[in-house]
């Protein structure tokens, strides 16, 4: 399946009014166990490139505070405010999860693994953690990390990746997560290239336990 297939699925689900009601009483349309090639940067809507760039830079800083996203007086996006506690703290700074000493410098570990063994199946970066059960609502947070893990493969001179997600909002979540994962793939391909080796960014596989559209975004589907 490709993004176009996922798009058509949601269009049909909305036409058929196959709704699931979430904890807030809002209608959603969903796919459980979605798996497709992420061959487009958006399923519905247009990516906000200014915001995408800001979020990636914020991830690189490894700050766990959403008030640092823009670096100015602008309010953070509503989705992040919903996830944060009253201090602006969250769990899901993806840069911190893959770059920091606290989480074992997983980015560097994955690059080293692929450098030493290009055929490896171990080049994984694990975003989720068992302790999230104790941390997701800590001090008023509502942030149960959405990405479980990403694994990277070198095949036929290209760097492929498989993203595995617990939960993914089609409209905002997918676009921003896609941009981040493409960025990380490009950085890994660059770090692996050198001497007589050159790798290009290949296929991005997207696997989601629950892929969904909220009622407030049904107009985009229509």
- The DSSP bridge partners found for residue 30 are 212
* Residue 95 annotated among the catalytic residues of the structure: no
The size of the chain, in residues, is 222
Q: Is the pLDDT confidence value at 195 over 80?
A: no
Residue 62's nearest CA partner among 87, 85, 90 is: 90
Distance CA 173, CA 80 (A): 11
Distance CA 173, CA 205 (A): 16
Distance CA 114, CA 122 (A): 8
Sheet strands (E) in 81-136: 124-126
Catalytic residue among 146, 150, 165, 171: 146
Tens of pLDDT, residue by residue over 31-88, are: 999 999 999 999 999 999 999 999 999 999 999 999 999 999 999 999 999 999 999 9
What pLDDT score does 194 carry?
83
> Average of pLDDT values for 85-114?
98
Q: For the CA atoms of the chain, what is the radius of gyration?
A: 18
Report the percent of the chain where pLDDT is more than 90. Answer: 95
pLDDT band at residue 23 under the 50/70/90 scheme: confident
Residue 66's nearest CA partner among 42, 84, 50 is: 84
Tens of pLDDT, residue by residue over 137-185, are: 999 999 999 999 999 999 999 999 999 999 999 999 999 999 999 999 9
What pLDDT score does 197 carry?
85
- The DSSP bridge partners found for residue 21 are 27
């Amino acid at each position: 399946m490709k993004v176009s297939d996922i798009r058509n699925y949601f269009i049909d689900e909305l036409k058929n009014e196959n709704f699931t009601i979430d904890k807030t009483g809002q209608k959603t349309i969903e796919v459980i166990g979605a798996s497709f090639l992420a061959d487009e940067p958006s399923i519905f809507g247009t990516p906000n490139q200014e915001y995408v760039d800001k979020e990636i830079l914020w991830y690189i800083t490894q700050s766990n505070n959403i008030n640092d996203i823009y670096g100015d007086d602008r309010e953070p996006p509503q989705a992040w405010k919903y996830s944060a506690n009253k201090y602006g703290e969250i769990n899901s700074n993806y840069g911190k999860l893959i770059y920091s000493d606290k989480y074992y410098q997983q980015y560097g570990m994955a690059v080293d693994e692929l450098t030493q063994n290009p055929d490896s199946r171990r080049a994984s970066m694990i975003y989720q953690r068992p302790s999230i059960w104790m941390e997701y609502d800590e001090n008023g947070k509502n942030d149960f990390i959405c990405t479980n893990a990403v694994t990277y493969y070198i095949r036929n001179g290209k760097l492929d990746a498989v993203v595995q997600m617990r939960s993914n909002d089609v409209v905002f979540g997918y676009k921003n997560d896609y941009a981040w994962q493409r960025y990380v793939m490009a950085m890994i391909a660059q770090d692996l290239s050198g001497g007589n080796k050159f790798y290009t960014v290949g296929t991005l596989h997207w696997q989601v336990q629950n892929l969904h559209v909220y009622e407030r975004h049904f107009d985009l589907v229509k």
